Structure 1
């Protein structure tokens, strides 16, 4: 049985993507301490209803991404800043809320297909990723602008493109990199029209 603490956010995290967070709530500080002590990850799930701060009725997506802490620092404002990297996708099976309001879930890991090399038809999408990687906020996260396989390209674009949350969640549920890239092409064409 796989149990994960959950961090519901209005952001959708993808494998390989990096996310910078500022932590101030006691429940998440405790969660991060445990993750660092146990060399464990936590689950980032897309928040569908409610607020990211404690209280209220939260609804979040049934599919999420495990996050691992890759860097942390005490910020000038005294709060903890962390950078996480997306690892594995999962499906939430059972969900509970602890006394400190930390959400926890039993999850099943989704299987990833073996990496497939980029094809000629991915040239335009690879160029879009290269352009996105030149943005200062992406450079700060240390995400690469050049990747070598369809899975990495699809996840990086799904994360970095300015898509609606519903589209990002849809992309997170697609198990085939080729199908995910085809859907991204459709969304890019729709954005450009």
Structure 2
């Protein structure tokens, strides 16, 4: 187990994804300083109860480690950071520091690099077309990534119009083929 600072948000970050944040609360400014100084990630967990600002919110038990890859100060003097999602984790022992920062002991969930199954090939084709149109971080992904069931599933979870409850559920699914099957089942309702 490892200890992570947690940043509860009204969003779900997936491994390999990008998340841009504006930081202004003292507890999170301190967290960003410590993570940058020590080259550590922090944990992003979806908020189950509470708000992003103010008192500590109740986070989901599953989240993704976020590593800071860039930062800037905007026109209003607020710190902006760019993070990349790394590994999924399960929260075991959360505790609230006197600064209002939530920290927790977490167990890492190992990635599962498994080849795409033939019944999910349609999803890889759909993802490729979506990324060609959307551009961004994964627009020039190599062909080998489109054969990685976990990578395809996570990218589709980011791009498809899922609600946050469904995204959280998809983050918690350990089997990448089950995640893709659920997405395949949801597609007709998105048309």
TM-score by length of 2: 0.90
The separation in 2 between residues aligned to 1:130 and 1:73, in whole angstroms, is 31
Shift of 1:71: 1.3
In structure 2, stretches of 5+ residues that fail to align are: none
Q: Deviations over 1:64-90 (max 9, x none)?
A: 111111111112221111111111111
Q: Which residue of 1 aligns with 2:50?
A: 50
8 Å contact from structure 1 (residues 20, 82) kept in 2: yes
Q: Deviations over 1:133-186 (max 9, x none)?
A: 2455x62xx233643311111111112222111111111111111111111111
Q: Which residue of 1 aligns with 2:152?
A: 153
The separation in 1 between residues aligned to 2:41 and 2:21, in whole angstroms, is 15
The separation in 2 between residues aligned to 1:88 and 1:22, in whole angstroms, is 22
* From 123, 126, 149, the counterpart of 1:125: 123
Indicate whether 1:162 and 2:161 are aligned.
yes
The separation in 2 between residues aligned to 1:102 and 1:30, in whole angstroms, is 9
Q: Which residue of 2 aligns with 1:64?
A: 63
Q: Which residue of 2 aligns with 1:144?
A: 139
Shift of 1:13: 0.6
8 Å contact from structure 2 (residues 117, 177) kept in 1: no
8 Å contact from structure 2 (residues 120, 184) kept in 1: no
8 Å contact from structure 1 (residues 129, 145) kept in 2: no
Residue aligned with 2:90, SS: strand
Q: Which residue of 2 aligns with 1:104?
A: 103
The separation in 1 between residues aligned to 2:21 and 2:54, in whole angstroms, is 16
Q: Which residue of 2 aligns with 1:2?
A: 2
Q: Which residue of 1 aligns with 2:80?
A: 81
TM-score by length of 1: 0.89
Residue aligned with 2:48, SS: strand
8 Å contact from structure 1 (residues 14, 65) kept in 2: yes
8 Å contact from structure 2 (residues 120, 181) kept in 1: no
8 Å contact from structure 2 (residues 90, 109) kept in 1: yes
| 1:158 to 1:22, Cα distance in 2 relative to 1, 3 A | same
Q: How many residues align?
A: 187
